[in-house]
Structure formats: structure tokens, C-alpha cells
Amino acid sequence: MDHRFSEGSNIILDFFSCLDPKNSFSKFYVNKLARLADIYYADFFDNDRGTIRDQLKIYMLQVRRNASFSTCEDVQSLAMKMVQTDKYLVFPLVYKLIELALILSVSTTSVERAFSTMKIIKSKLCNKINDVWFNDLMICYTEREIFKSLGDIDIIRTFTAKKSRKRHLPRNFI
């Protein structure tokens, strides 16, 4: 992991791992989770950063006593259980941490995928592509599984229906 992520990213991943509900929240560590409020300062008000430790402590006491939380296997199931039991209303700061943990992997993966795609498309040979065309290529490459499911005839018909192009496709393509 040290080669894949920076030291700061490793710290954040370690802190978020404290939300793991397995083994009766054995990895739960209030200080690390409270530090996340400082790291994600834009998502928390100043008074939130002051009260989050108390909210985390009370939250932990309640979920360890609540049998329905013992079935949670991951952060996603924990978030769903909080909504089902209305604990997200009682512990909004804890729920906000859980939401941040859930979007972390999505945001990291999508950004990494976009840069990989740019690297493939924007080679030395294709360095003079304009921004609009480059953006279209990025979408096609990134979402290639969707484009594979489309038929060639459908794509050609959609393209020919567009009016904003320099040349028309020959009729025998359609």
C-alpha cells in the first residue's frame, strides 16, 4: 500500500478502518475517528469538531448493546442499519463519517481511472486533440462497457442525425 498511496492517504484509510463493525466494533477508535473531522474540516462545523468525540463514545455504547448491529459486516451494511434504526438522526456526525468512508473508494477509483484513460488517449501522436474531442474520447474509453453493448448501426444512425459535423457519412454506412 505504501507504493500505491501517499502517507497521508494511508493515514486516512487507517482512520476510516476504525468504522469496521466486525467483531463487535473491535477496531473502533474514537481519537482516530475524531481526527477525521479535522482532516475533512470543510464537511464539519467548528462546534462539530468539538462534540464529535462525545457523540462517538455514546454511539459506540449504544450500537454494541443493540443486537441488530451485530449482523453488520462492513461499512455499507452499517450505514443501512443506521438508517433503518434511525440512528443517523441521533448521531449525525458519526453518520457523516460513514458517508465519507463510503464515497472515499469511489472518488479515488474514478479519479485514478480518468488519469489512466488520459494517459492512453493523450499520447505523443494524439497530442493536438481539441478539448471537446478529447472529452468525448475520454467518456467513450472510460465507459467502454456501455459502448460495447450498443450496436454499430445505432451509433452510426445517432451520429448521422447530428448536424454539428464537418462531413457526412456515406449512405452505404447506414
Half-sphere exposure of 14 toward its Cβ, with a 13 Å CA cutoff? 12
3-state SS, residue 167: coil
Q: Provide the pLDDT for residue 25.
A: 87
Distance CA 78, CA 70 (A): 10
Report how far residue 72's alpha carbon sits from residue 61's, in angstroms, rounded to the nearest whole number.
16
In angstroms, how far apart are the furthest CA atoms of the chain?
A: 71
Cell numbers linked to 88: 443517523
CA-closest candidate to residue 25, choices 59, 53, 52, 49? 59
The model scores a pTM over 0.85: no
Domain layout of the chain by residue ranges? 7-108, 110-173
pLDDT tens-digit profile, the chain (174 residues): 444 555 666 777 778 888 888 888 888 988 889 988 888 888 888 888 889 999 999 999 999 898 999 889 888 999 999 999 999 999 999 999 989 888 876 555 555 666 676 676 666 556 666 777 777 777 777 777 888 888 888 877 777 777 665 666 566 655
Could you give the CA distance from residue 40 to residue 48 in angstroms, rounded to a whole number?
12
- Using CA atoms, how far apart are residues 121 and 33, in angstroms rounded to an integer? 40
User: Residue 95: its pLDDT value, please?
Assistant: 93
Rounded CA-CA distance 77/20 in Å is 10
